[in-house]
Amino acid sequence: MSFSDVFKSNFIENVTSVSILDMAIALLLAFGLGMFIFLVYKKTYSGVMYSASFGTTLVALTMITTVVILAVTSNVVLSLGMVGALSIVRFRTAIKEPLDIAFLFWSIAVGIVLAAGMIPLAVIGSIIIGVILLIFVNRKSSKNPYIVVVRCDGHDSETKAKAFLDGKTERCVVKSKTAQKGSVELNMEIRLKDDNTDFVNVLADMEGVSSAVLVSYNGDYMG
Protein backbone atom coordinates (compact mmCIF):
# COMPACT_ATOMS: atom_id res chain seq x y z
CA MET A 1 0.00 0.00 0.00
CA SER A 2 1.46 3.36 -1.04
CA PHE A 3 1.26 6.59 0.95
CA SER A 4 -1.52 7.94 -1.27
CA ASP A 5 -3.61 4.80 -0.74
CA VAL A 6 -3.88 5.59 2.96
CA PHE A 7 -5.87 8.74 2.22
CA LYS A 8 -8.12 6.81 -0.15
CA SER A 9 -9.14 4.33 2.55
CA ASN A 10 -12.66 3.95 3.86
CA PHE A 11 -11.61 5.58 7.11
CA ILE A 12 -11.24 8.97 5.42
CA GLU A 13 -14.45 8.49 3.46
CA ASN A 14 -16.40 7.84 6.67
CA VAL A 15 -15.58 11.33 7.94
CA THR A 16 -18.38 12.81 5.83
CA SER A 17 -20.83 9.91 6.23
CA VAL A 18 -22.80 11.89 8.84
CA SER A 19 -23.17 15.62 8.29
CA ILE A 20 -22.31 18.17 10.96
CA LEU A 21 -25.87 19.52 10.87
CA ASP A 22 -27.39 16.08 11.47
CA MET A 23 -25.03 15.46 14.38
CA ALA A 24 -25.79 18.84 15.95
CA ILE A 25 -29.56 18.46 15.65
CA ALA A 26 -29.52 14.88 16.96
CA LEU A 27 -27.29 15.71 19.95
CA LEU A 28 -29.26 18.83 20.88
CA LEU A 29 -32.53 16.91 20.78
CA ALA A 30 -30.94 14.06 22.74
CA PHE A 31 -29.74 16.51 25.39
CA GLY A 32 -33.18 18.14 25.62
CA LEU A 33 -35.07 14.88 25.92
CA GLY A 34 -32.43 13.53 28.30
CA MET A 35 -32.99 16.54 30.56
CA PHE A 36 -36.74 15.91 30.37
CA ILE A 37 -36.20 12.29 31.45
CA PHE A 38 -33.92 13.50 34.26
CA LEU A 39 -36.57 15.95 35.53
CA VAL A 40 -39.29 13.28 35.45
CA TYR A 41 -36.98 10.94 37.36
CA LYS A 42 -36.31 13.64 39.96
CA LYS A 43 -40.02 14.36 40.40
CA THR A 44 -41.06 10.71 40.66
CA TYR A 45 -38.20 9.39 42.82
CA SER A 46 -39.57 7.74 45.95
CA GLY A 47 -36.56 5.86 47.28
CA VAL A 48 -34.60 6.46 50.46
CA MET A 49 -31.54 8.28 49.10
CA TYR A 50 -31.69 10.27 45.85
CA SER A 51 -28.69 9.80 43.54
CA ALA A 52 -27.89 12.86 41.41
CA SER A 53 -25.31 10.85 39.47
CA PHE A 54 -28.01 8.47 38.21
CA GLY A 55 -29.96 11.43 36.84
CA THR A 56 -26.85 12.67 35.05
CA THR A 57 -26.35 9.16 33.70
CA LEU A 58 -29.79 9.28 32.07
CA VAL A 59 -28.85 12.43 30.12
CA ALA A 60 -25.46 11.02 29.12
CA LEU A 61 -26.97 7.66 28.14
CA THR A 62 -29.47 9.33 25.81
CA MET A 63 -26.71 11.27 24.02
CA ILE A 64 -24.29 8.32 23.89
CA THR A 65 -26.95 6.05 22.41
CA THR A 66 -27.73 8.69 19.78
CA VAL A 67 -24.06 8.90 18.78
CA VAL A 68 -23.73 5.12 18.56
CA ILE A 69 -26.87 4.67 16.46
CA LEU A 70 -25.85 7.51 14.13
CA ALA A 71 -22.59 5.68 13.48
CA VAL A 72 -24.32 2.33 13.02
CA THR A 73 -26.92 3.64 10.56
CA SER A 74 -24.22 5.16 8.36
CA ASN A 75 -22.20 1.97 7.96
CA VAL A 76 -23.52 -1.61 7.76
CA VAL A 77 -20.10 -3.16 8.47
CA LEU A 78 -19.72 -0.97 11.54
CA SER A 79 -23.11 -2.09 12.83
CA LEU A 80 -21.97 -5.72 12.83
CA GLY A 81 -18.80 -4.82 14.69
CA MET A 82 -20.75 -2.73 17.19
CA VAL A 83 -23.04 -5.66 18.00
CA GLY A 84 -20.04 -7.85 18.70
CA ALA A 85 -18.35 -5.20 20.83
CA LEU A 86 -21.42 -4.46 22.95
CA SER A 87 -22.15 -8.15 23.48
CA ILE A 88 -19.05 -8.50 25.69
CA VAL A 89 -19.92 -5.54 27.93
CA ARG A 90 -20.98 -6.50 31.45
CA PHE A 91 -22.54 -4.12 33.99
CA ARG A 92 -22.05 -4.93 37.67
CA THR A 93 -24.00 -2.05 39.24
CA ALA A 94 -27.10 -3.31 41.02
CA ILE A 95 -30.41 -1.59 40.30
CA LYS A 96 -32.04 -0.90 43.68
CA GLU A 97 -35.33 0.57 42.46
CA PRO A 98 -37.38 -1.36 39.84
CA LEU A 99 -38.52 1.93 38.29
CA ASP A 100 -34.89 2.84 37.53
CA ILE A 101 -34.86 0.09 34.89
CA ALA A 102 -37.72 1.83 33.09
CA PHE A 103 -35.81 5.14 33.06
CA LEU A 104 -32.65 3.47 31.73
CA PHE A 105 -34.58 1.75 28.94
CA TRP A 106 -36.43 5.01 28.23
CA SER A 107 -33.13 6.87 27.74
CA ILE A 108 -31.77 4.18 25.43
CA ALA A 109 -34.99 4.01 23.42
CA VAL A 110 -35.08 7.80 22.94
CA GLY A 111 -31.47 7.78 21.72
CA ILE A 112 -32.22 5.03 19.21
CA VAL A 113 -35.40 6.67 17.90
CA LEU A 114 -33.75 10.09 17.56
CA ALA A 115 -30.76 8.70 15.66
CA ALA A 116 -33.15 6.87 13.34
CA GLY A 117 -34.68 10.23 12.40
CA MET A 118 -38.07 9.62 14.04
CA ILE A 119 -38.08 12.94 15.91
CA PRO A 120 -41.88 13.29 16.39
CA LEU A 121 -42.07 9.77 17.82
CA ALA A 122 -39.25 10.51 20.28
CA VAL A 123 -40.68 13.86 21.41
CA ILE A 124 -44.37 12.97 21.60
CA GLY A 125 -43.66 9.52 23.04
CA SER A 126 -41.43 10.98 25.77
CA ILE A 127 -44.04 13.57 26.72
CA ILE A 128 -46.76 10.92 27.01
CA ILE A 129 -44.53 8.58 29.03
CA GLY A 130 -43.44 11.42 31.32
CA VAL A 131 -47.03 12.53 32.01
CA ILE A 132 -48.11 8.95 32.76
CA LEU A 133 -45.21 8.45 35.18
CA LEU A 134 -45.91 11.75 36.94
CA ILE A 135 -49.57 10.81 37.39
CA PHE A 136 -49.18 7.23 38.58
CA VAL A 137 -45.92 7.34 40.54
CA ASN A 138 -46.82 10.47 42.52
CA ARG A 139 -50.34 9.29 43.22
CA LYS A 140 -50.85 8.94 46.96
CA SER A 141 -53.39 6.43 48.13
CA SER A 142 -54.75 5.58 51.57
CA LYS A 143 -54.75 1.94 50.43
CA ASN A 144 -50.97 1.77 50.77
CA PRO A 145 -49.88 -0.50 53.64
CA TYR A 146 -48.59 0.91 56.92
CA ILE A 147 -46.93 -0.72 59.90
CA VAL A 148 -48.14 0.08 63.42
CA VAL A 149 -45.81 -0.76 66.30
CA VAL A 150 -47.73 -0.97 69.60
CA ARG A 151 -46.14 -1.54 72.99
CA CYS A 152 -48.53 -2.56 75.77
CA ASP A 153 -48.32 -4.08 79.23
CA GLY A 154 -50.29 -7.30 78.89
CA HIS A 155 -52.91 -9.45 77.22
CA ASP A 156 -55.89 -7.25 78.05
CA SER A 157 -54.38 -4.06 76.64
CA GLU A 158 -53.18 -6.02 73.61
CA THR A 159 -56.72 -7.23 72.90
CA LYS A 160 -58.16 -3.73 73.29
CA ALA A 161 -55.51 -2.21 70.98
CA LYS A 162 -56.14 -4.85 68.32
CA ALA A 163 -59.92 -4.36 68.52
CA PHE A 164 -59.49 -0.59 68.31
CA LEU A 165 -57.36 -0.86 65.15
CA ASP A 166 -59.83 -3.30 63.58
CA GLY A 167 -62.52 -0.65 63.92
CA LYS A 168 -60.43 2.31 62.75
CA THR A 169 -58.72 0.71 59.74
CA GLU A 170 -59.81 -1.17 56.67
CA ARG A 171 -57.52 -4.08 57.37
CA CYS A 172 -55.33 -5.05 60.31
CA VAL A 173 -53.04 -8.08 60.34
CA VAL A 174 -50.51 -9.00 63.02
CA LYS A 175 -47.10 -9.51 61.42
CA SER A 176 -45.00 -10.15 64.51
CA LYS A 177 -45.34 -10.25 68.29
CA THR A 178 -42.64 -9.93 70.92
CA ALA A 179 -43.60 -10.84 74.49
CA GLN A 180 -41.50 -10.08 77.52
CA LYS A 181 -42.29 -10.04 81.21
CA GLY A 182 -44.66 -7.13 81.71
CA SER A 183 -44.41 -5.97 78.08
CA VAL A 184 -45.86 -6.99 74.69
CA GLU A 185 -44.83 -5.47 71.36
CA LEU A 186 -47.04 -5.91 68.29
CA ASN A 187 -46.12 -5.17 64.68
CA MET A 188 -49.31 -4.92 62.64
CA GLU A 189 -49.85 -4.16 58.98
CA ILE A 190 -52.85 -1.91 58.39
CA ARG A 191 -54.71 -0.34 55.47
CA LEU A 192 -56.14 3.11 56.19
CA LYS A 193 -59.72 4.05 55.38
CA ASP A 194 -58.63 7.61 54.56
CA ASP A 195 -55.66 9.93 55.09
CA ASN A 196 -56.56 10.64 58.74
CA THR A 197 -53.97 9.24 61.19
CA ASP A 198 -55.33 10.77 64.42
CA PHE A 199 -56.33 7.31 65.63
CA VAL A 200 -52.66 6.70 66.49
CA ASN A 201 -52.86 9.47 69.13
CA VAL A 202 -55.97 7.88 70.64
CA LEU A 203 -54.28 4.48 70.58
CA ALA A 204 -51.24 5.81 72.43
CA ASP A 205 -53.49 7.29 75.18
CA MET A 206 -55.33 4.02 75.83
CA GLU A 207 -54.90 2.41 79.20
CA GLY A 208 -52.13 -0.17 79.18
CA VAL A 209 -50.55 1.13 75.95
CA SER A 210 -47.15 2.77 76.49
CA SER A 211 -46.41 3.78 72.87
CA ALA A 212 -47.80 3.56 69.32
CA VAL A 213 -45.78 4.22 66.15
CA LEU A 214 -47.11 4.46 62.59
CA VAL A 215 -44.60 3.75 59.81
CA SER A 216 -45.13 3.97 56.05
CA TYR A 217 -44.27 0.64 54.43
CA ASN A 218 -42.56 0.98 51.02
CA GLY A 219 -41.36 -2.58 50.56
CA ASP A 220 -42.66 -5.27 48.24
CA TYR A 221 -46.13 -6.44 49.10
CA MET A 222 -48.22 -9.28 47.77
CA GLY A 223 -51.78 -9.99 48.72
Tens of pLDDT, residues 172-187 = 888 888 888 888 898 8
Instruction: Give the H or E element holding residue 216.
Output: strand 209-216
Are residues 17 and 127 both part of a single domain? yes
pLDDT at 150 over 70: yes
Looking at 98, 119, 137, the residue that finishes a domain is 137
pLDDT tens, residue by residue, 79-104? 555 655 555 556 566 666 778 888 98
* 8 A C-beta contact, residue 82 and residue 71: yes
pLDDT for the residue 90: 60
pLDDT digits (tens, 9 = 90+) for 1-13: 444 544 445 555 5
Q: Are residues 22 and 75 in the same domain?
A: yes
In this prediction, residue 174 carries a pLDDT of 86
Q: Please give the residue range of the domain that contains residue 62.
A: 3-137
Provide the number of structural domains found in the chain.
2
Residues 133 and 78 in one domain: yes
Domain of 197: which CATH number? 3.30.70.260
Contact (CB, 8 A) for 157 and 208:
yes
30 and 133, same domain (yes or no): yes
- Measure CA 127 to chain center: 17
Among candidate residues 110, 137, 164, the one where a domain is terminated: 137
**Helices assigned H by DSSP within the chain:** 3-6, 10-13, 20-44, 52-74, 76-86, 98-115, 119-137, 155-168, 199-205
User: Is residue 222 in some structural domain?
Assistant: no
User: Quick one: 188 exposed, middle or buried, by C-beta within 10 A (0-12, 13-18, 19+)?
Assistant: buried
- Residue 26 and residue 110 in one domain: yes
* Residues 166 and 196 grouped into a single domain: yes
User: What are the residue ranges of helices labelled H in 9-51?
Assistant: 10-13, 20-44
CB 50 within 8 A of CB 97: no
Q: Would you give the distance in Å from CA 48 to the centre of its chain?
A: 12
What pTM does this model have? 0.62
> Which pLDDT does position 124 carry in this prediction?
94
Sheet holding 145-152, edge to edge: 169-180, 183-192, 145-152, 209-216
For residue 104, the one-letter residue type is L
